[in-house]
Amino acid sequence: MDQSACEFRGPTLHFVALGLLLFAPVLWLSRISTAALAGESLILATYLVGVIWIPRLSVGASGLVINRMFRLGWADIASARARTVLGLPYVQAKRKSGRSYWIPLYFVGGGRVSECLLKHAPSANPIAHCLRDAPSA
């Protein structure tokens, strides 16, 4: 990404707390067997890596990088639509090839994701249209 790119990450505290709440009873129950405890600990560690390290969003002049691996150029975007899943706001961006990407607007970092998208997206881009038309972006 370029020098003026905005970097965002998932809000880890809520997801870590949820993971520990879900895994604590299982870890407590598996204390009888060392092998079960090792397996559950490995699953918990994998979950935490997935929650802390992977959820990232970079927005720059050339486009977006979602979850450190999916590059989406501004010119590749054919349509965009505001969505909400379990109260969390997203923009569903569809590539010209047909594949959809869900851009989380609730990520934290350098300001608001929606403002950074509006700043970097070309004015004719479907994401810019979607965010300008949305009642609360």
Q: Which pLDDT belongs to residue 34?
A: 75
Range name among 34-43, 48-57, 90-99 with the lowest pLDDT average? 34-43
Q: Quote the pLDDT of residue 113.
A: 94
Q: Using 50, 70 and 90 to split pLDDT, how confident is the model at 137?
A: very low
In sequence order, the β-bridge partners of residue 118 are none
Place of tokens 């999916």: 70
Q: Shortest CA distance to 77 belongs to which of 114, 122, 126, 36?
A: 126
Cβ neighbours for 60, distance < 8 A, ≥ 6 positions apart: 1, 2, 4, 5, 6, 120
What pLDDT does residue 135 have?
65
Looking at residue 54, what is its pLDDT?
Answer: 85
